[in-house]
Structure 1
């Protein structure tokens, strides 16, 4: 593969939860319910800060390595069942679909790179209604390790034959920024997932926007246009 010789990106990789759909707090609530039903008292604020990790990592992060691993699948299944009840009414963030279409109109290929399960990704794509501009999607089901490991980012790049330097990742959590950095891809941070600007900026994205509308307005001077500002912090 020969990387592009100009400095314009060829691909925009997007996280989903908290980036294009307003679902981080739904995940926090349904993980809390699943944990509570199985005898675990974990503060919801702590759960929220772990959202963005895949199901293969979040339980270790919340319950520790010494937990009873025999419960893991039951907890994941409980969370999935509780969250699936929202599949028909997932809230799309303002201008999210417009943002995807505007990026595609500028010649970039869009790939979704989410730690969600395959059926969650399918439900989110249905809610977005922008499949005509989406070139591909990865999910936690496609890789051995989810975010903050870089596997999903590598898989998203492979889907379209792009090199890391030819892509920009857009996400809303420190786990997104870390996964992108470990894959060698610059990351734009959005504040729509509930992470504070200070914390998200400290993780090292090239820039931070309040949400899809602000990024859409600034698109032609953003890293997606190949004019990346210096890293913040």
Structure 2
């Protein structure tokens, strides 16, 4: 039977969370909103519209949402040619692929952004498919993106492992019935990831790769 290794991208495979924080902070500032950077950091991983609702409240004037999202996208795009992948991110994906896992990305990133991220990670030969928030009705923390990835891989939840760095990742995967692994490299504390559903937590892709033989991946039989 197939096995699926599902990966978030921002903050998990690529060291981009704080770039997003800066871009959102400036986009919000330009629209007249003073939002602390730590609050924005905690919201990274949500789709843009949900992120704005989380930060500014749902009961508000939404007329500036498209402009703020466009400002974020424009500001973030200035980093596209130098987005940094985490050490061993590509090796981790290739190791799993060579072991027979279907490797899928589960992300809120849009097309141009995802293209730049995949170029930074440089492991397209190991990636089977990609599920984005644009493919489903609701993004993380709803389980829809994870369930869509499972459908693409044709794998039941019990034969999949999800790796992410945010509380939203943990909740989405747990709600989809998938085993969840958390990484600390996105900046979210271990306790928060565990409380949201992580059964194991590692520092970063290199740490997970080094401990792969004893990780939740080892508990899914080939």
TM range (shorter): over 0.9
**Aligned-residue CA RMSD in angstroms?**
1.3
Tell me, what secondary structure is at the counterpart of 1:69? coil
For these two proteins, the number of residue pairs brought into alignment is 221
Alignment pair present for 1:202 and 2:202: no
Whole-angstrom CA distance in 2 between matches of 1:157 and 1:10 = 10
Whole-angstrom CA distance in 2 between matches of 1:224 and 1:31 = 34
Asked if 2 retains the 8 angstrom alpha-carbon contact of 1:13 and 1:168, the reply is yes
* Structure 2 match to 1:231: none
* Structure 2 match to 1:156: 149
Over residues 135-174 of structure 1, what are the superposed CA-to-partner deviations in whole Å (9 max), with x where a residue is unaligned? 0012222122111011110111111111111100000011
Whole-angstrom CA distance in 2 between matches of 1:197 and 1:187 = 13
Tell me, what secondary structure is at the counterpart of 1:81? helix
Whole-angstrom CA distance in 1 between matches of 2:171 and 2:113 = 22
Asked if 2 retains the 8 angstrom alpha-carbon contact of 1:56 and 1:145, the reply is no
Alignment pair present for 1:22 and 2:15: yes
Tell me, what secondary structure is at the counterpart of 2:13? coil
* Structure 2 match to 1:100: 93
* Structure 2 match to 1:66: 59
Whole-angstrom CA distance in 2 between matches of 1:118 and 1:227 = 32
Alignment pair present for 1:81 and 2:77: no
What is the CA distance between 1:199 and its match in structure 2?
1.6
What is the CA distance between 1:227 and its match in structure 2?
6.3
Matching of residues 109-188 of structure 1 within 5 Å: 109-188=102-181
> Which consecutive unaligned segments of at least 5 residues does structure 2 have?
none
Q: What is the TM-score with the length of structure 1 in the denominator?
A: 0.92
Whole-angstrom CA distance in 2 between matches of 1:118 and 1:150 = 21
Asked if 2 retains the 8 angstrom alpha-carbon contact of 1:121 and 1:139, the reply is no
Q: What is the TM-score with the length of structure 2 in the denominator?
A: 0.96
Whole-angstrom CA distance in 2 between matches of 1:76 and 1:56 = 8
Asked if 1 retains the 8 angstrom alpha-carbon contact of 2:11 and 2:17, the reply is yes
Asked if 1 retains the 8 angstrom alpha-carbon contact of 2:159 and 2:220, the reply is no
* Structure 1 match to 2:36: 43
Whole-angstrom CA distance in 1 between matches of 2:171 and 2:53 = 18
> Which consecutive unaligned segments of at least 5 residues does structure 1 have?
229-233
